[in-house]
Structure 1
Amino acid sequence: MSVRLHPHAQARLIERGATEAEVIATVESGTPFAAQFGRTGFRRNFSFNAEWRGTVYTMKKVEVIAVKENEDWLVITVIVKYF
C-alpha cells in the first residue's frame, strides 16, 4: 500500500502545519472514520509542544480525507487542529 497526495492536499500541508510524514503515518496507523461522498477519513494525535501562529500547543490532531485507488490511498485534503 502506498499513500499519494493530491496537489490540493500538498498545498494544505504547508498552510495548516502538517508534514508529509505525519499524513502518511495518519493513513497507515490512524483511526479510520466514514467521510462524505464515500471517502475515508483517518485521524491521529501527535505531540507538538511548539508555537503555531503565536500560541504554544502541546498536541495536534491530523485528519486526512482519502479515497482508495486499487491498493493505494489518494489523500484529498488534510485538516490540522491544535490543542
Structure 2
Amino acid sequence: MKPIRLSRHAQEQCLERGATATEVIQAIREGGREPAKNDRMLCRFNCPFNGLWQGKHYAIKQVAPVIKEEHNEIVVITVYTFFF
C-alpha cells in the first residue's frame, strides 16, 4: 500500500476533533470508502471509544478522513469525527 501523509490541515483537524494519526491510518486501510467532492474519497471507520467527548459519554467514535490518492502516496486532506 502507498504511504499515507497527513496534510497540515488534517493534523490540525485531528487535534481539534479528537482523532489520532493511528486511527486515521486505520480508517484508510480498513474502513469503508465512498466518493467525495473533487475526485476524493471519504473513508469511515468505527472505533470503540467508551469515553467522554465534550462532556458526554459515547461508546463509538467514527473517524472519517477525506483522502486524495496520488501516484506515489495517499494525502489526507481533512479529518472528521462522529461520536455516538
C-alpha RMSD of matched pairs (Å): 0.7
Correspondence for 1:32: 33
Aligned-partner Cα distance in 1 for 2:47–2:11: 19
TM-score (norm 1): 0.97
Correspondence for 2:67: 66
Aligned-partner Cα distance in 2 for 1:43–1:14: 18
Q: Between the two proteins, what is the percent identity of the paired residues?
A: 37
Correspondence for 2:78: 77
Where in structure 2 are there 5+ consecutive unaligned residues? none
Q: Give the 4+ runs in structure 1 shifted more than 4 A.
A: none
Where in structure 1 are there 5+ consecutive unaligned residues? none
TM-score (norm 2): 0.96
Secondary structure at 1:18 match in 2: coil
* Residues 38-78 of structure 1: CA deviation (Å, up to 9, x unaligned): 11110010000000110010001111101011142100000
Aligned-partner Cα distance in 1 for 2:18–2:54: 10
Partner amino acid, structure 2, of 1:67: K
Secondary structure at 1:11 match in 2: helix
The aligned length equals 83
Correspondence for 1:17: 18
Partner amino acid, structure 1, of 2:19: A
